[in-house]
Structure 1
Amino acid sequence: MTVTISRHPFPTENAAAGLSVLENSMESLIDGLEVDSTRLGDAFQLSLTLAKSHCLLDAEASRLPTWQAWVNAMQVGSATFATTTAPGGEIRCRIAEEERVLQATGPQRYSNPGAWMTAFYLAVICREKDRLTTLCQVPVPLLRESGAPCDEFVYSWVETLQAYWLGGPDLGTKLVAALDGTAPQSSHISAPETTAKLLYPPMEIFHRLVREDHAGFNRALAESIRWHKEYWSTEENALQATGLVALAPLAMTCLAYDASFSIEVTSEYLPIALLERDWPGEYPT
């Protein structure tokens, strides 16, 4: 039985004009990356906002400009870690349909575990296997060098995803460490509500995925989307474009879809064209 979960209300009156402003800012940022590659952190945040904002008026992600925005965000995410892991010199990265010559930057504040997870999720959604392999070879100690504050369980989650994609050992041990680190009684959680409603749910979805528990997967996915909606429906959060798409649950669902799971949850938070890989291969990425 399919469960449908609607997206929280979001104003659309000025959406087209807002997209135009974001696109112009994004184009300017990307064009400036060859001069100052440390702007990748800003470019990554803005490109993700733009990709999700496209889904306000195109909830299924069925239009080409929406796919282009998601590809651009994925490319910027990959470039972020290509430049921070390179030993030095120039790095060639394809971004926004052009090859850009960027500079190695070393670890930066923006090359943190949260950004790595976002880059991973985007590469999963865009079905970019080579980029996923490269991202999963980023050393976790390098993410620590970013200096950004981060709960310890997040590092365990990064290690879990890397072990899963690369077929590394101790996947189960790493996943248990990540799940245990999110327990409400843990004294090391800096943002309990965010952890409970946004960070833990994708781990539980993934847990059901690797156990090949199809029914449990769909239950966990539905619960995750309900928590996502609850989190982004508050007065404080409701007008943030970040909440328009449930990025991590979408990525986990893409993995399940590609593993021939029957997906029994539908929602604007899970754009169907991204989930069902309608666009990969449309043009070189």
Structure 2
Amino acid sequence: MNEVIIRHDLSPGPDAEQFAERLSERVARRIDKLEGSAKMIDYAFSTANLAMRAHCVADPRAAAVETWESTVNSMQLGSAIFALLGAAEGAVECRINRKLRTIPATGPMSTADAGTWLSAFWLAVICRDQDR
């Protein structure tokens, strides 16, 4: 027997797409700053996750390119956190937001916990990125 679960009543208002787009612009600015310092990568990751969720509210079928791009940005940032965690010195090359970036290594970070790992893993599964 099949069950249909009706989605929460989150009727996307007229501002939903604009809100999601503003968040995506903020994410892009935070990503661009990572090459100078990776100290704020956890904020970039959390903002990217918020932007992805906002795009999903505005686009419930997740059919728009912007929704996909926000999901990929979240996945790439989550992966970058753990790449940076494994390097105590030097820099790490990570592809984020369509660009190969050289980000200074941070070494251990408190943000790289089990919850962040699960989010990064979940995003890699959604994006079908086997290597991540």
Is the pair's TM-score, using the shorter chain for normalization, greater than 0.5? yes
Q: TM-score range by the shorter chain?
A: over 0.9
The whole-number CA distance in structure 2 between the counterparts of 1:115 and 1:55 is: 20
- Residue correspondence of structure 1 range 40-79 to structure 2 within 5 A: 40-79=41-80
Q: Which runs of 5+ in 2 are unaligned?
A: none
The whole-number CA distance in structure 1 between the counterparts of 2:40 and 2:25 is: 16
Q: How far does the alpha carbon of each residue in 1:191-212 deviate from its partner, in whole angstroms, 9 at most, with x for none?
A: xxxxxxxxxxxxxxxxxxxxxx
Structure (1/2) with the larger helix percentage? 1
- Output the amino acid matched with 2:55: H
Instruction: Show the counterpart of 2:2.
Output: 2
The whole-number CA distance in structure 2 between the counterparts of 1:57 and 1:74 is: 20
Instruction: Show the counterpart of 1:196.
Output: none
**By how many angstroms is 1:130 displaced?**
0.9
The whole-number CA distance in structure 2 between the counterparts of 1:124 and 1:47 is: 17
- Residue correspondence of structure 1 range 24-173 to structure 2 within 5 A: 24-131=25-132
- Output the amino acid matched with 1:110: T
Structure 1 outlier segments of 4+, above 4 Å:
none
Q: How far does the alpha carbon of each residue in 1:178-229 deviate from its partner, in whole angstroms, 9 at most, with x for none?
A: xxxxxxxxxxxxxxxxxxxxxxxxxxxxxxxxxxxxxxxxxxxxxxxxxxxx
- Output the amino acid matched with 1:9: D
**By how many angstroms is 1:2 displaced?**
2.8
1:102 is paired with a residue of what secondary structure? strand
Q: Which runs of 5+ in 1 are unaligned?
A: 132-285
2:112 is paired with a residue of what secondary structure? coil
- Output the amino acid matched with 2:12: T
Indicate the percent of aligned positions where both proteins have the same amino acid: 37
**Is the 8 Å Cα contact of residues 20 and 58 (structure 2) preserved in structure 1?**
no
**By how many angstroms is 1:57 displaced?**
2.1
The whole-number CA distance in structure 2 between the counterparts of 1:67 and 1:2 is: 28
Q: How far does the alpha carbon of each residue in 1:1-55 deviate from its partner, in whole angstroms, 9 at most, with x for none?
A: 3322122122522212211220221111011011111111001111111111111
Number of residues of Structure 1 aligned to a counterpart in Structure 2: 131
Relative to the length of structure 2, the TM-score reads 0.93
Q: How far does the alpha carbon of each residue in 1:125-144 deviate from its partner, in whole angstroms, 9 at most, with x for none?
A: 1111111xxxxxxxxxxxxx
Q: How far does the alpha carbon of each residue in 1:255-280 deviate from its partner, in whole angstroms, 9 at most, with x for none?
A: xxxxxxxxxxxxxxxxxxxxxxxxxx
The whole-number CA distance in structure 1 between the counterparts of 2:34 and 2:70 is: 17
Q: How far does the alpha carbon of each residue in 1:233-268 deviate from its partner, in whole angstroms, 9 at most, with x for none?
A: xxxxxxxxxxxxxxxxxxxxxxxxxxxxxxxxxxxx
The whole-number CA distance in structure 1 between the counterparts of 2:106 and 2:88 is: 9
The whole-number CA distance in structure 1 between the counterparts of 2:118 and 2:110 is: 15
The whole-number CA distance in structure 2 between the counterparts of 1:2 and 1:93 is: 43
Whichever of the two has the greater Rg, that structure is 1
